[in-house]
Structures are given as C-alpha cells and as structure tokens.
Amino acid sequence: MQFATNGYERTTIRAVAADARIDAAMVMRYFTNKETLFKACIRQDPLLPDLSGVPTDELGLTIARTIVLRWSDPAAVGLLWATTTNQETANDIHTNYRDQIAQLAARIGPPEQALERAALVGSQIAGLAFARVVLKLQPLADMQLAALAARIAPVLQHYLTGDLGLTGDLGSMIRR
Amino acid sequence: MQFATNGYERTTIRAVAADARIDAAMVMRYFTNKETLFKACIRQDPLLPDLSGVPTDELGLTIARTIVLRWSDPAAVGLLWATTTNQETANDIHTNYRDQIAQLAARIGPPEQALERAALVGSQIAGLAFARVVLKLQPLADMQLAALAARIAPVLQHYLTGDLGLTGDLGSMIRR
DNA sequence: AGCATAAGCCAACAGGCGTTGACTTGTCGC
DNA sequence: GCGACAAGTCAACGCCTGTTGGCTTATGCT
C-alpha cells in the first residue's frame, strides 16, 4: 500500500494505479479524487477484541499483547500514520480508538476519569508504535513481541486502574 | 515556521521566502536546496537540563515537567514531527534524544538496560506529544501542564528505575 | 446479433514545484 | 569616485502533480 509506506503527500495516483496494474484514470473514475481514495483506504476496524471475560488486573497485559501484535505490521502503522496529514481524518480515527478504550475504562472505574485514562493509554500505544515501526528506534524495533508487551503492560494497567495522582503531587505509585 | 505547521512536503520554498519577505532565489542562494534548508531548521538543542542534583526517586517528575513544558510549544513538536518524512534525519534526532536519556539511566541502574529504558521513556514522551499537540486529542490537549506532568511522571519513573519484568511475565508492579 | 454499459487506455490540460541564470541594486574599502 | 562583492529581483526551465475527456475494447443482457 502506497499510502502506508510513503504517506499521503508522497503517494501519487499514478503510483497507486501502477501497483494495481491499472490506468490512473481508472482510479479517478472509481474514487473521484485523491482524498476520497485515501479515506477509502483507512476505513477502521475495531481496535480491541471483546475483553469482558478478562480479569481487571490482567487488562494491561491483554491489551498490550493485542496492540503490540497488531501494530507490528508496518502497513497498519504506516496507514495510521498517514492520517496525520489530514487533521479531520486523524481526529475521526483517533477519537474512535480513544473511545473504545474509554468504554472499557468506564466499566472498571469512575466514568468521569474514563476519557483521560483512555487518552493516556492511547498516548503510550501511539508512542510505542511510532518509535518502533516508524522510527525503527533500537532496541524497541528488534524486541520480541512478548517482551515488548510485558514492558508496557504495567503502564497500561496503571493508566487504566492505577492512582492517577489527581492532586498533582507524585502520587502513591512512586512512594511505594 | 512553515516546516513545523505544514510538514516537509507541503512546505514550499516560495512560502518560506514569502514569510521572510524575501525572494525564493535568495533562499536557494543561502541553502542550496530544500533539504539543506530543512536540516538547518532542525538543529537540535539538548533535551534535558542537568539532572545530577535530582534525587533518583524524583527523576520521573522532573523529566516529566521539563518535557511537558518544552513540548507544549506546537512549533517545537511540529518541527520534531516534520522529521518523520526523512528517515535519515529522524534517526539522527531521535537516537540523540534516546542516548541523552540512556546516559542518565546508565548512571542509576544496570548499563545494559539503559538503552531499553531510555527508548521506553522516549516512546511515552513521543506518544504524549503526538496525542496532545499534533492530534489535539482531548482531554490531553487541554490539560494543565502540572497535571499532565503528574500523570506521566510515575510511568517515566517506572521505566527508569522500576522492574521491567524481564522474564516476560507480569512483573512485580502489577501484583503489588 | 445488437446494443447498453462497464472497463480500460491515451493524450493532454493547468497549475505548482524546485531550481537556475542573468540581471539590477545596494554597500563597502580605497 | 570606483571597482568588488554581497543582496536582491525577475522570468523562465523542466518536471511532476491531480484531473479531464475522448476514444477503444470487453462484457453481459435481450
């Protein structure tokens, strides 16, 4: 997929057409313009599987495993990344992901904290995908999936169920 | 800064020149081409201040405060973001940042873990900057600096000094 | 077979891009 | 004043882009 590897700007309709062994005019006939073509490429599937059976204290690890597995595919991350060039589509996609996590967070804790917890979870996931797949930053890029999941699992768990330190001081987590 | 707000591809030399109330040919005379101009724009200053006087168990919060403050400036984050389009410059910049943190990590823990710990810290920082400034994802985008720093401080602290769960299981952090 | 519709191809358009080179204007030291 | 050199302007180049319209070929229905 051209959009995934090159981003929106550097992807040309001619290149997409050539990939599909088709004329560029055909692409235009079916998608009318570049933006529509792009939006058609990034239709999103659900981020998380059904987690209702998972014990609360294993959510972090379960999510970590799912996410690390899915977002080790450069095509998936690249596509997600390409949304950055279009503020509108970026907002759609990422608030959707955030809300999926927020729904989960609302079930296991105070609903008024759900959005914030979800956004924090999302920030760690996005940062990891970015560093690992886009930047190929070592040693993250070469780590095994299981090890990687184990590293971020406690953090996701903390964001979901831990003490956020609402008073602004260090919070209980550090002092322990 | 055009590169910061529009990224590399969408920034035109003509626009940069117009910003500076100068002819485009002048830009070429001084920077020879677009890539050189870009590299000149992203010269990096040190990520962290001197942290030698900070107690080990307050490193997370101190770093969090510094980073959140610095990377709330959309221009700074945008510029960092623009590096993504050029794999080479992206690698230069981000490994540099990682190594600064790794140096710190090596002073307070096993040196063989320093790179990994630093990369994890970096992933959380990058993810937060991305979600907050590029994506403007709520509620992160509107949170106060102090609150934001307090949220990620425990995580940075954990990545720097905590148990990484090297065996691949949940690690001590969750079970506590 | 005949025909409507889809699939596919080709050439071209208008516009924007990075980049170039020739040219004019200002600013110094002497 | 005068020559050297930097600063600045202008028009144009070749190229690539998204997009268009007209043309030819295949496909399937009656």
Q: CB-CB: which of B122, B146, B164 is closest to A151?
A: B164
pLDDT score recorded for residue A44: 75
Taking Cα atoms as reference points, which of B36, B40, B20 lies closest to residue B28? B36
* Cβ within 8 Å, pair B131-A151: no
- Kindly indicate the confidence band of residue B163, based on its pLDDT and cuts at 50, 70 and 90: confident
Q: Which nucleotide is nearest to A36 (CA to C1')?
A: D18
pLDDT in tens, B24-33: 999 999 999 9
Nearest CA in chain B to A145: B168
pLDDT of residue B166: 52
Closest-CA distance of chain B to residue A151, Å = 6
Mean pLDDT of chain A: 87
Q: Note the pLDDT tens digit of each residue in B66-104.
A: 999 988 888 888 888 888 888 888 888 899 899 999 999
Nearest one of B86, B87, B66, B53 to B148, comparing CA atoms? B66
Q: Specify the pLDDT at position B51.
A: 87
Residue B114 has pLDDT above 90, yes or no: yes
Cβ burial, residue B40 (10 Å; 0-12/13-18/19+): exposed
Across residues A54-69, what is the average pLDDT? 91
Give the mean model confidence (pLDDT) for residues B156-160. 94
Q: What does the pLDDT average to over A39-51?
A: 84
Q: Cβ(A39)–Cβ(A92) under 8 Å?
A: no
Chain A partners within 8 Å of B152 (Cβ): 120
pLDDT value for A175: 42
Q: Which residue of chain B comes nearest to A138, CA vs CA?
A: B119
Chain centroid to Cα A105, Å, comes to: 17
Percent of chain B with pLDDT over 90: 56
pLDDT one-digit tens code per residue, A66-94: 999 988 888 888 888 888 888 888 888 89
- Residue B175's pLDDT is 42
Residue B158 with chain A: CB contacts under 8 Å: 154-155, 158, 173
Neighbours of B130 (CB within 10 A): 24
**Angle (CA) B71 B74 B75, round 5°:** 100
Contacts of B176 (CB under 8 A, 6+ apart): A176
Flag the least confident range among A96-110, A159-173, B16-30, B45-59: A159-173
Give the span between the Cα atoms of B170 and A48, in whole angstroms.
20
Task: Find the mean pLDDT for residues B111-115.
Answer: 92
Answer whether residue A18 shows pLDDT above 60: yes
pLDDT confidence of residue B85: 82
Q: In this predicted model, which residue has the larger pLDDT, B166 or B102?
A: B102
- Note whether B130 contacts A127, CB cutoff 8 Å: yes
Residues with CB under 7 A from strand D: A 11-15, 24-25, 28, 32-35; B 22-26, 29
Q: Domain extents for chain A?
A: 2-41, 56-175
**Bases in strand D with any atom closer than 7 Å to a protein CB:** 7-11, 16-22
CB-nearest partner of B168 from A7, A81, A150: A150
Site from A132, A135, A148 to mutate, B interface, most B CB atoms within 10 angstroms: A135
Q: Per-residue pLDDT averaged across A49-58, rounded? A: 87
Closest C1' nucleotide to B12's CA: C17
pLDDT in the model for residue A176: 41
Instruction: Report CB contact under 8 Å: A137, B153.
Output: no
Percent of chain A scored above 90 by pLDDT? 54
CA of A22 to C1' of C8 (A): 8
Question: pLDDT for B44-62, tens place per residue?
Answer: 778 888 888 888 888 999 9
pLDDT at A170: 39
pLDDT of residue B167: 45
Is residue A171 left, alpha or beta, with left meaning phi > 0 and alpha meaning psi from -120 to 50?
left
